[in-house]
Structure formats: structure tokens, C-alpha cells
Structure 1
Amino acid sequence: MTKLFWNVFKLSPVVLAATFFAANSAFAGEATEKNTSVAELSEESNIGQVTSVSQFTDVQPTDWAFQALQSLVERYGCIAGYPNSTFRGNRALTRYEFAAGLNACLDRVNELIAIATEQVNSGDLNTLKRLQEEYAAELATLRGRVDGLEFRAAELESNQFSTTAKLKGEAIFAVSGAFGDEKVGGGDIDENVILTNRVRLTFDSSFTGKDKLRVRLQARNTPGFDDITGTRMARLGFEGSNENNVDLTELNYTFKPAKGVMVKIDANEADLNDNVNVFNPLFKSSGGGAISRYGRFNPIYRAASGDAGVTATLGGKKSPIKLTGAYTSGNPTKTDSGFFNGDNAFLGQVELKPMKSLNLGLTYVRRFDSGSANVTGSTGSSLARRPFGSGVATKSNHYGVQAALKLNKKTTLAGWYGFVDADEFNGAGDSEVQYWAATLGMKDFGSKGNTLGLIFGQPPKLTKISGFASGTEDQDTSYHLEGLYKMKLNDNIAVTPGLLVIFNPEHNNNNDTVYVGTLRTTFKF
């Protein structure tokens, strides 16, 4: 009985094969060429049933479908041949031929099903009954396990956090230290090594499948090295401290109002480097990219960031041209400033992709700063950040050119150049700031998932100032050199040793070289 039912059940693939072969043999090959009718085909074919595949003169044991045809002819009797003892397996198949072949095979299937019960003997039934009794305990165990799994699945579904929200986590443990001879301004550098951390929990939720609501919580205790070294050029990329208190650092909503249009509304910490392409794909992340603040991306994106804002991007992922516009406001919770009357910035960016391996960007930012006058986003020299001193309202125009070129599948060369024209808002002061950098990244270096990186450039430098009585320019040039090697231990853990070197800190040749080393371990879940 087992053999019989096996033959019946495996007819499903056989039916497909039989349909093809029987249909090919159902009518004469010349019918298609002559474009004859169905009635004419039936008259000229005179199909005869064959009992052995050897009756076909044009079928050889070396043919790729010989065994399938042999099974259909000799085992199932589901194939007919032509009067001249040919099968003609290479000719085209028509819809009529397909229907004829399928009908023949279905008739055979019905015959097998009809006689199936007649071939079942009492011995087979006794064997099935004995097997059922012998494995009764095992079957009961399996039934209990399935019931238990169904109950646990129902319980998890009823108590899950959310059907749409996803939780992502990142934890950074870092051992860092600054060293060198003298710090900027005089005095020895305190060469103590510190152990710090940063933890982020991100909740992403969607309501339509094409939108995203993000909430991010953060706690950290990584102080800056500017007090130890005397310069903010030595800042780390993941630097910042709230004494490990939990803060809300991101609250935004992204949606697509139309095809090829993306809109993002930031209600808290509108960092535009998260909203637009920054053209430094291997090093833009604070947790897995460059170890320094300046090495992550062009400072123009920091100049455009604020506490709240709106960003709109036109152009899909495969579009050769993308346009981005953004508006951000600083501290809009103050009732005397509001969303439009306080510190603010406008950003416009054109992204070009003339070829798959090359990505170009032209960026403009118009910024108004009512008092903090942080022109370069806390990067570069103190004169570049505040050309007119602290507490002076400043308006500035920022121009940036960025590029990323894939030399091959694993190597990317990227870089940027920036120019800033900053003016006193209530005075005659006028200043210019310039900066540049180049990055080289090699993925899968040494082992799959690892990344070797090298970054070199000139941090923001005040190159011109006029109309301001006490203003002075940066006299010399600082250089930023950074090397890192991210080692991916597994999908969740990466270890990145890196070294940052600042030559002529604060664009002053009289200052000693500053070194900052770090061993960053990043956990993701």
C-alpha cells in the first residue's frame, strides 16, 4: 500500500512533465507551420498509445529527458506517439496541445485514485495500527509541545512592547588619553588615561509602513580634551557628558508626502548630518566612524544644525540628482524668540551622481547667531569659531563642496572644502574662514568587516578679518592627521583603536604637537 500511495502522491511533478511531453506528442509538428485548424490537426495526427519508449525512433537514451519520458510511457501510460513512430520532443507547444496532454494525464490520475482502495490489504492496515500504538507516547509528547508553543506565542503577542516599534541599542566603552609636551597656552599636558561610556536607546515606530517616528534616549560621560590640551581641535567624535543622566536627544518624524519626496520634522536636536548625505560614508558615524569630531564630516552641517527644524529632500535613492532644503531654529522653546525669530539657519544642497562610483555635493548655509557665535560648529581654532569674540551676534554664509569616490568595491576616497563669510550683525566686522580634509577608507582590510581609515586635513582657520578693531587672523596653519582601524569581532561588537595628531594647534607654529589616542569598543543590539 505504501508503494501505491507514494506513486499516486508523486504524480504532481509527473503531471507537469507529462503535460509537456504528452502535449508535444499530441499533434503533428507540421500543424504549427501550416497554421491548420484543430479539426485538421485531429484528422492528420491519428495518435497511437505506445507502451515502450523504444518505440520512438527519434528518442535516444542519451537525451536529457529520456528517463522522464520512459517513466511516463512505461509506468503511467500517459504518452502517445505519431504514426511514423516519432515523438518530436523539440518542437513548439501550443495551448491546444497543452490542454490535450493535461487531460490525458488527469484521466490517468483519476484511474489510479479509483483503484487505490482496492489495493489496500489488511496487512497494511494492521501495520499502520501497530505503528500508531507503538509511537503513541511520542505523538502525545509532540502534541503537548505544539500546544505549549502556541500558548507561549499567544502570550508573547499579547504582552509585546509594540507591534510596530523596534528597539535599537548602542553602547560605547572607550579608553582615551591626550599626551604631548606643552598644551596650548602653556603648561604640561595632563596625560591621565580615562575610561568613559556612551549609551543610546533608539525607538523606531511606523504607522503606515512609509513613515518613521524616532525617539532616542542617551546617557554619557565623555569629557572633552580641550581643557587638557588647550584646543578644541583635539575633540573626539563621541565626546559629550551629561554625567550619565538620561536625556531625550532625538524626537523626529519622517514621512513621504509624494513619490520621491522625503520630509523630516525634528522636535529636538535637529542634527542635519543625520538628515542629508554628508559624503563621508565610512567615517560619518560617531560610534563606528572617525574617532575625531572634525574627521566625521564637513563642519558646514554642524553650522546648519539647531534644536528644531524641518528638512525636505526631493529625489529617490537611484535618482542622479537630489535637492535638499532645511530650516533649523536654536532653542525654540523661548517665548521671546520662537521658531523664526531666534538663532536659525537655512540649508540648501544639491547632490549629483554622474556615475555609480562618484557622488558630489554642493552645500550652502545661511546662519544667524544671536550670541554664541559658534561659526564652525565647535571645530577649528578659537578665532575661526568666534572671529568677533563671545557674545557677538553674527550672520554668516557657508559654502561647501564635498565628494566621495569609490575606487573599487572596498576602497573609498572622500573629502571636502569649506569657506565661510561671517559678518558682525550690528557692526562692520567682516571675516573669512577656510578648511579642508581628505579621507581614505578600506573595507575588509585584513579581515571581513574591518575598516582601515586615514584622515588628513586643515581644521577651520580664520584667514581674513577686517572692520573689527581687536580682530586678528590665524597666522600659521594646523594640520589634522588621524589613523584608525575598526575591527569587527562579530555582528554586535567592534573595537577601534585610533590616534589623532594635531600639528601646530590653533594654527600657531609655536604650539607643540598634540596627540590623542583612544580605544573605542562599540556594542550594538
Structure 2
Amino acid sequence: MAKLHRSSVKALPIFIGSALLAAQPFAAQAQTPNQDLFDQIEAYSAEGQVMMNQAGGASQFSDVSPSDWAFQALDDLVRRYDCLKGYPNGTFRGNRALSRYEFAAGLNACLQQIERLIAETTADFATREDLETMNRLMQEFEAELAMLGTRVDNLESRVSFLEDNQFSTTTKLAGEAIFALNAISPRRNQPDTNANRLLEGTDTRFRDEIVFQDRVRLNFDTSFTGRDRLRTRLQARNVADWGVRTLTNEPRYGFGGDNGNDIQLDVLAYRFPIGSKTTAQIFANAAGMDDFLPTLNPFDSSGNGSISRFGQRNPILRAGGQNQGIGFMHKLNDNFNVSLGYTAGQGENPTSGIFGGSYALGGQIQFENDKFGVGLQYINAYTTNGGTGVTRSGLGTGTGSLAGDLALNGNAIGGTDNVVSNNYGLEVLYTPSDRLFVGGWIGMSKGIVINSGTADVWNYALTVGLPDLGGEGNLLGFVFGQQPRLAGSSSSLAGAFRGTSAANNDRANRDIGYHLEAFYRLRVNENIHITPGLVYFTNPGHSSVNADMLMGTLRTTFTF
């Protein structure tokens, strides 16, 4: 919408004054008879004077130049108001005298144009009548308006009170619930008492019934600075392990664990920054070395990743005592980071403390860019074998064969069965495109049974993933590998580990078993995923006398 400029208003008196001066010599014409005036108008008509739009400004007139004293006033009137016209031959004839009638006609045209512009500019302005009506309404509803203002003040006061006294302005709730139909086959494995590759005289039986199990987690994440996080996790679950753990640790689910569906405090941890490149974490319980030494494996998720415990991460990251813990990660640059973590297995126990019992102390250096990642890990661990049966684990990984976890057959050998281990790991991940990644790891544990001897345990895995296969958010995954296997030990430890025979002077698992896993995560929507999956175990316990096993699941994960 056009507006009336101050400079344009100033130009108008110039035009009017100039026109009046030019008209003064002809003042007497106003007293001449009407016939003379008509003759004069007809004379102008004969010269071809017509009104025409001159949008080009004063410069369009051939007899007007920028040096003329009235050029700017003429240019403003033509350009801004379009109320002065020239002659058809392109001239303005600025020095020519004009009659009062001509002046009146020109002035009237400019005034009408200005009035039109003012009307357009102020069309939406409130009128005096509107303002009077508004004032009358305000007076009529004065009491109601005052009451409304009081209510607003009260609401503001109540909001301020709630903000000052609420539980937390920064706590967020995130939840995950897993429903799973699980099954395993075959129905029975019996010990080979002749070859003595399993526990002597033990008949290992388990049923192949289909079970319905669940796990529920509620995370309360609180931030006090916007960069830190206090996590409090409540958990209930009933995913009991199959009875085959007297035979091998291989068939275990990544979401496994059983507390009878009682609600328990699972994780209590605080993460905070130190400067701009370092992050620290403190765990009061449920710490894992993977919390401090992050993995590269995209399958490392118990709810939406691999269905097996082994397929999540290198087993060496589970070695030693892990409950309370503290760790740091420092970014060297955009691609390199170094991590350090320490965990204690009985840090809450006055007889052990954070330094007197089982522990794990680890470090990692990791490189990662858009296509490739590699990580090197070292973990020094110590495990006290205070348990009985299958809990007498020397490494503490809870995966692979019983011998591959350095679980001892009998009582202490040489006065103790506590184990110190040096664990080495290499992990890689290659992502050539958004629809494919290939990764894996290799791990070696050098175990030392105190005052008894040493043992070597190896494991490796290859992972392949096809994200978004069949739809956004879907994932087809494969895991192939060898779960922890006792590769060799000192002669003093011959037959000392579960699944080996002293009579046959066994110092290692005689055979090799493989882990073959496939799963397909189907995205139903943003909050629901359904994952059918199968894991096939050849030579369970790394013993060929054991029948191959097939473990399956239909896992449904709800997140909110």
C-alpha cells in the first residue's frame, strides 16, 4: 500500500506557488466574457492537449532537464502522485503561462490523488467511533476486567510456587518393556562318561518347552546443568537361563536375567563433563566395562540388537568383578578418543571394599569416522571364586564353554582358585553405505590361577547388518563366531576346568563349536519392534559329543 512521504508534501507548495506566479499576468482574464474563455480553451484543445499517464517522471519531457530549478518538484508530482500530464508531443512547456482554470484543474487532480493515497494508507485505522465504543465497553465491564486481572495474578503466583517446589524440572522418564516367546532344542544332552568330555556321572537334562518371559525397565534421567545426567533405573524381569548352564554358557539371551519380576533398583549412575573434551561416570551399582569402554558394534543393545549375549560385545568386556565403578572418556579430536574404567565386584561389602575384592581395570583407544572404526582394549581383571557349582567362574564373562570361562572342577588348586587375567581385544566396524555394515572382534584372555598355572582363552566374531531392509527402522543381522574356548593351559591345570578330564590329561577344549545367529528386527512403529531370531550352536561346550542346539526367540520391544 502506498504511503504519503514528507518530501512529497513539501514539494506540493513549490508546484502551487510556481503555478500562481505563472498565472498572475493573466489575472485580468478572469474578468473577460465567458465567450473569450471558451475560445481560449478551444485553442488549447486545438493544440492536441490530452491527459495521459506519465510514469517515467520529469525526465520524460524533452524540454525539461535536471538543471531546471523546479525539476525535483515536477519529478515528485509525476512519479509519486501521477497527477501532472504533459503534451502528446512529449513536452511539458514549463515556461508557458497558464490560466486559473488550468491551475485549478491541475491542483484538483493532485489533491484527489493525495486523498486517495491517504485513504488507502489509513483504511485499517480505528475510527473515532471505534475508540468511543471501546472506551464505553471498558467502563461497562470495569469490574469484570479487574476480577480477570486478579485471577491472572493468582495463577502466576501458583505457577511460581509449583516451579519452586516440584520434584524436578529436568527429570525425564524413558521406559522399555520386552515380551518374548523363547524356546530351545534338543530336549536332552547326556554326558559322555567314556570320553569324559563332560562332568563325570552327570546327566544334563532340560526341557524344550516354549516359555513366555519378560523384562521391564524404567529410566529416570535427571539433568542439573543441561550437560550432566543422573540415571536411576528400576527393573523387573523373569528371563531365566536354560538348564544347560551345567553344560555350557553359550545359549544365553542378551536380555536375560531373573529376579522373579520383583521391582529392583538396577542402575544408579551419574555422568558429567570435565571441561569440553572429557566425560566422567560414576556407578553405584550395575556397572559394566562397556559403560566406560564404548563398543563399535551396532548390535550392542539388549532390547533392539542381537538376541544373544555373545552377539552384543566382546566377552572380555565382562571379565572380572563389575558392580560399582568409575570411568573417563577423553576426546583427542573428532576421530580419536581414549577411555579408562575401573569396576569393583563387592565395593559395598566391608570385608572386600572397592579394592579388596574382584575388580576390572581397563583402557581403550578408539578411532572412528563415517566409514571405518577400530578399537583396541586392554583389561586387567581379578575374580575371587567364592561361589559353588557354575558360579565358580575364573574369568567372569559368563559366555562360551565352562572351561572357556576358567570355571574350576573342584576345590582350590594349590591353596587358591582366584584368577587374575590380562584380556586383549581388537574391534573393527566398516560401514560402506547406509544399508550395510560389517564388523567384528577378536579377544584373548591370559588367565593366571593363583599359585597353580596359566590358561589361554580365545574368542572371535564376525557381524553383518543390513539396516532399513524392507522398511525404515528394520534391521537384518547375522553373527558368526566362536564363543570363548579354552585353547591351552599349564600342565598343572590338566583336567582342572569343567568339561575337561584329568584322566585324559585335558588341558584344553578338545573340539571347536561355532555360534551362528540370524535375526530380523521389524519396525511396527516408532515405539514397537518385533524381532524373530535363531541361534544355532555346533558342538556345544566345544565338545563334539554334545548334540547341536537351536535357540529361538520372538522378541517384542516396546519403548516410550
| TM-score calculated relative to the size of structure 1 | 0.71
Instruction: Please say if 1:287 is aligned against 2:303.
Output: yes
Instruction: Please say if 1:386 is aligned against 2:406.
Output: yes
| TM-score calculated relative to the size of structure 2 | 0.67
User: Using a 3 Å threshold, how does the CA distance of structure 1 residues 331 and 119 change in structure 2: closer, same or farther?
Assistant: closer
Residue 76 of structure 1: how far off its partner (Å): 8.9
1:421 pairs with one of 431, 441, 446: 446
Instruction: Please say if 1:208 is aligned against 2:232.
Output: no
Note if contact 1:270-1:305 (Cα within 8 Å) is conserved in structure 2.
no
2:522 pairs with one of 487, 493, 501: 487
Note if contact 2:266-2:286 (Cα within 8 Å) is conserved in structure 1.
yes
Instruction: Please say if 1:298 is aligned against 2:291.
Output: no
| Structural RMSD (CA) | 3.7
SS class of match (1:420): strand
Residue identity in the other structure for 1:443: P
Kindly report which structure 2 residues correspond to 1:29-428, keeping only aligned pairs within 5 A, or say none: 52=55, 116=122, 154=159, 161-180=167-186, 182-183=188-189, 185=191, 189-227=206-244, 230-281=247-298, 283-303=299-319, 306-315=322-331, 319-353=334-368, 355-371=369-385, 372-386=392-406, 388-389=408-409, 392-427=417-452
Note if contact 1:498-1:518 (Cα within 8 Å) is conserved in structure 2.
yes
Kindly report which structure 2 residues correspond to 1:418-457, keeping only aligned pairs within 5 A, or say none: 418-427=443-452, 429-457=453-481
Note if contact 2:213-2:238 (Cα within 8 Å) is conserved in structure 1.
yes
Supply the distance in 1 between the matched residues of 2:120 and 2:400 (Cα, whole angstroms).
88
Range 512-521 or range 330-339, more displaced: 330-339
Residue identity in the other structure for 2:250: M
User: Using a 3 Å threshold, how does the CA distance of structure 1 residues 221 and 125 change in structure 2: closer, same or farther?
Assistant: same
Residue 52 of structure 1: how far off its partner (Å): 3.0
Supply the distance in 2 between the matched residues of 1:211 and 1:462 (Cα, whole angstroms).
42
Residue identity in the other structure for 1:362: L
SS class of match (1:234): coil
Residue 276 of structure 1: how far off its partner (Å): 2.6
- Segments of structure 1 that go 5 or more residues without pairing to the other structure are 1-5, 12-49, 58-72, 78-107
Q: What per-residue deviation string (whole Å, max 9, x for no partner) do you get for residues 173-223 of structure 1?
A: 101011126436356651100001101011111111121111111000010
User: Using a 3 Å threshold, how does the CA distance of structure 1 residues 419 and 116 change in structure 2: closer, same or farther?
Assistant: same
Supply the distance in 2 between the matched residues of 1:456 and 1:184 (Cα, whole angstroms).
26
SS class of match (1:339): helix
Residue 430 of structure 1: how far off its partner (Å): 1.0
Q: 1:20 — aligned with what? A: none
Paired positions, count? 417
Q: 1:21 — aligned with what? A: none
Q: What per-residue deviation string (whole Å, max 9, x for no partner) do you get for residues 135-180 of structure 1?
A: x9xxx9xx9xx98xx89x9498688642011111111010101112
Note if contact 2:321-2:382 (Cα within 8 Å) is conserved in structure 1.
no
SS class of match (2:237): strand
Residue identity in the other structure for 1:399: Y
Note if contact 2:289-2:342 (Cα within 8 Å) is conserved in structure 1.
no
Supply the distance in 1 between the matched residues of 2:225 and 2:405 (Cα, whole angstroms).
43
User: Using a 3 Å threshold, how does the CA distance of structure 1 residues 248 and 517 change in structure 2: closer, same or farther?
Assistant: same
SS class of match (1:233): coil
Q: Which has the larger radius of gyration?
A: 2
Residue 344 of structure 1: how far off its partner (Å): 1.1
Note if contact 1:172-1:520 (Cα within 8 Å) is conserved in structure 2.
yes
Residue identity in the other structure for 1:227: V
